[in-house]
Amino acid sequence: MFLKSTADTKEHAPSFYAATANWQTNYPQLEGDIDVDVAIVGGGFSGVATAVELGERGYNVALLESNRIGWGASGRNGGQIIGGYGRDPSAHRARIGSDGVAVVEEMGWECVEIIKQRIEKYQIDCDLKWGYCEVALKKRHLKAYREWAKEEPAMELLDCDEIKQYVNSGLYLGGYYREDWGHIQPLNLCIGEARVAESLGAQIFEQSKITAISYGDKPTVTTEKGRVKADHVILCGNAYMGNLVPYLDARVLPATSCVLATEPLDDQQLAQSMVRDVAVCDSRTALDYYRLSADKRLLFGGLSNYSGLDPTNATAILQAKMHKVFPALRGVKIDYSWSGKMGISVRRMPQIGRVANSNVLYISGYSGHGVAPTHMTGRILAEAVDGDSRRFDIMNKMFHMPWPGGKLLRRPAMAAGMMFYKLCDRL
């Protein structure tokens, strides 16, 4: 697999999502100085969700995006609404206590409810569908599902024959189904929430790249042509923050994932592949994920890599993976193919905290599992600004180590680690 630099522009990637966006944003570039209650950096899910939560509480908000709303991972991902807030909250028990673990576990349920309620409340058109399957390639995956199901009554365990009622593939040994998780057109949700924030009074600026941040009780965000002074600044750039904040840069590793979209499938092709309109993931570390679009295209994703580069032949590799899962789709035309970056944290837990004892707050490191958790994060940050820091303080207590190896060695080290896990996936 050969690699190349990601071709990023200030406009949206040439994805199926961009082609089917309900709205084309054209917010102004920040010019001049403004003074607000809260300045939010980043126009993805974290940023727009926080803006909505603060707007509902009556705060004067400015949201700054370097490119377009939903330009990054929020507008390029698999579109799967999966519950849970980070990997294994119990691993942080020593710092947050059993009560803290229980709070984080509850947040894993609440994050899905936030999306559900917001779409309904504001009538956001984003192709919401309920239904999710996780599929097993190994017997150990089935064993893990059985153990999990003892504590999760929403899980419906499926054997080898039953899983084919959802996903018609001979590749899987079984799986489970949940009707409380699902999928959406993510860019339409992100832009829709930005429009909600705007209706609540938020000032939104696109093409406004941050060049500097000053800290303290009254922090300031500087762009190429303007400046925002605020009581609080909230950093929501995740994998796209670059080295603007060295503390975060050391703790978030940008990784690439790729997605393709087929032409619309006919009834026969659907019967031979996606029998039910559900979101699907397998249980490997380097997993495949896929679902149907509203017009019955198969959106198939994977190819996670930690080099910071894109595979030159990503479409062909993903297509081969798709054919392995669904041989009946050989010959189906690929209409779209794109990639994007996700922010990976060492312990796969979202990182929420405060920079240098200032009024600059941050969130990063969703580790490829951010559609639902970002909405929980927006609520946590808004609560903290509004004077209720209970959940913020729990998350802030967690220890998030920097990536070993520094700038020079962290990517090769992580790539080697992923090779190890890919070998384990085969066992």
Asked if residues 259 and 299 have their Cβ atoms less than 8 Å apart, the reply is yes
Phi then psi for 206, rounded to 5 degrees?
-105, 170
pTM: 0.94
What pLDDT does residue 405 have? Answer: 72
What integer is the mean pLDDT of 373-387? 98
Distance from C-alpha of 155 to C-alpha of 208, rounded to nearest angstrom:
44
Tens digit of pLDDT for each residue in 18-69?
A: 999 999 999 999 999 999 999 999 999 999 999 999 999 999 999 999 999 9
Residue with tokens 């040439």: 14
What pLDDT does residue 411 have? Answer: 58
Residue with tokens 């974290």: 46
- Tell me, what DSSP letter sits at residue 272? T
Phi then psi for 381, rounded to 5 degrees?
-65, -40
Tens digit of pLDDT for each residue in 140-175?
A: 999 999 999 999 999 999 999 999 999 999 999 999
- Sequence-ordered strand ranges (E) for 206-276: 210-214, 220-223, 226-235, 253-262
Q: Are strands 220-223 and 226-235 parallel, antiparallel or unpaired?
A: antiparallel
Label residue 247 by pLDDT band (50, 70, 90).
confident
Q: CB atoms < 10 A from the CB of 188, how many? A: 23
What pLDDT does residue 363 have? Answer: 94
Q: Give the 3-state secondary structure of residue 330.
A: coil
What integer is the mean pLDDT of 126-143? 97
Nearest to 349 by CA among 84, 106, 97, 46: 84
Nearest to 334 by CA among 14, 2, 10, 12: 14
Domains, the chain, in order of start with CATH, read: 9-79+187-252+346-404 (3.50.50.60), 129-182+254-341 (3.30.9.10)
Tens digit of pLDDT for each residue in 400-422?
A: 988 887 666 555 655 655 554 45
